Amino acid sequence: MALSEKLIQDMVDKGRRIATASAGDETLGPLSMLPGVWKNTDALHGFGFNMIALPFATDPNGNGYRLLMNQYDEELHFSIVDKGVPNRGSGFDPATGAPIITDQIIVALDYDQKIVQIAAEDFPVSGEAQKFDGKAIHKEPGLWLYMTNFETEVANSPNDAKINVARLGTIPHGNSVLAVGSAPDEPFSGFDPRLIPNVNGVVVGGGVDPDEDDLEPIYFAPYKHFHENPFKGTVAIPGFKGFEPVDMTDMLRHAVAKVLPGEVKKTMRLHVDSAFDHAGVKTLNSAGIVNIPFVVRQADAIAMNSTFLIYEVEDAENGQTRHFMQYVQNVILDFIGRPDGHPGRARWPHVSINTMERVSDADAGSVKVRMVTE
């Protein structure tokens, strides 16, 4: 259920507090299942997959890009909670016209993500794909926000959604993202496969499917290659056909059906979008991505959406409760003129998926700053 006025007022009265985050903390609302350390355990080794199109000046086909696939492991830490963050506001009582204080109260949960490449393959072959095997390929600090009150309505959004969560992230390439979304007050009961989105990762502005012939076939060669030869990496996952561009979330469905150790009792779904409309129509101008000048010029990251699913699972062997997380993230990169005659640059999906387990509580030693009051 939504945070009560009493609980919100209690945070206001106690003042802003920073502490080690705890799973189940009711002040985190829909974020309450996140605190702790999430990893690719032995049973989930190599379940992280990534696809990205990259500018490629020496492409033998002359298209100017290559398609890179990665298999990876990850650590994702949610360690510090910042409670009672006040966004100052003011307004007027509609009945009396008298001024009133209308502060928004936010609870923030920090995260730190590290991804290490296990294996990689690209097409056309560049000779560069395997150079990062065993090395970090992504580092991202950021915050999830829960807006406990004054949720923002978004015009023309699905189901008249109200924004009550947001994600802020920064990466060393020179990108910063603010994505917003709507999360339910309570987890869903059990598991519904429709909660996992279907993602087609084929370039936008060049057709819909690599099997189509309405464009120059050579242009689709990298997508067609991985569609017909799905990427499996070097860590074998029994029963998994491989990671491929047309159905990029098949691995998530496979993991739920074949790998999770028991029945899913609860599912929390968090979805955020940098524009709320991934077709590029900005329905909320305050969200988006900003990039350093080089990135804008070469491969401009213009939009991002991500869906996180957190499962409470009853272990079939011992009845214990365990928690698992899945996500799919889609970042749109713009580079190379569109080959279909329309103005502008083509839009290239950069898709990442993973399945992890929460292996420990948040690390108390990670709290470096303590603030008693504002």
Residue 242 sits in a domain whose CATH number is 2.40.128.20
pLDDT at position 338 over 90? no
| Predicted confidence (pLDDT) per residue in 3-19, tens digit | 888 999 999 999 999 99
Rounded-to-integer distance, Cα 147 and Cα 160, Å? 17
Structural domain count, the chain: 1
**147 within domain boundaries:** yes
pLDDT digits (tens, 9 = 90+) for 282-314: 566 677 888 899 888 888 888 899 999 999 999
Report pLDDT for 258.
94
> Is 307 in contact with 278 (CB distance < 8 Å)?
no
Contacts for 251 with CB less than 8 Å, ≥ 6 apart:
47, 49, 237, 240, 243, 353, 355
Q: Which residues contact 271 (CB under 8 A, 6 or more apart)?
A: 181, 182, 183, 305, 306, 307, 308
In this structure, of 51-65, 116-130, 255-269, 329-343, the range with the lowest mean pLDDT score is 329-343
pLDDT (0 to 100) of residue 341: 59
pTM for this structure? 0.89
Burial class of residue 42 (count of CB atoms within 10 Å of its CB; 0-12, 13-18, 19+): exposed
Across 224-232, average pLDDT:
94
In a domain, 349, yes or no: yes
| CB-based contact 135:128 (threshold 8 Å) | no
Q: Residue 2 above 90 pLDDT?
A: no
* Structure confidence at residue 372 (pLDDT): 33
Averaged pLDDT score across all residues of the chain: 86
- Looking at the domain assignment, is residue 83 inside a domain? yes
334 located within any domain: yes
10: containing domain: 5-366
Kindly tell me the burial class for residue 2, based on how many C-beta atoms sit within 10 Å of its own C-beta (0-12, 13-18, 19 or more). Answer: middle
With respect to residue 96, please indicate whether it lies within any of the assigned structural domains: yes
pLDDT in tens, 209-221: 444 444 456 678 8
Residue 373 resides in a domain:
no
- Listed in sequence order, the residues at least 6 apart from 370 whose beta carbon sits closer than 8 Å to its beta carbon are 18, 19
Q: Is 374 domain-assigned?
A: no
* pLDDT per residue as tens digits for the range 117-146: 999 999 999 999 999 999 999 999 999 999
pLDDT at 374: 31
With respect to residue 372, please indicate whether it lies within any of the assigned structural domains: no
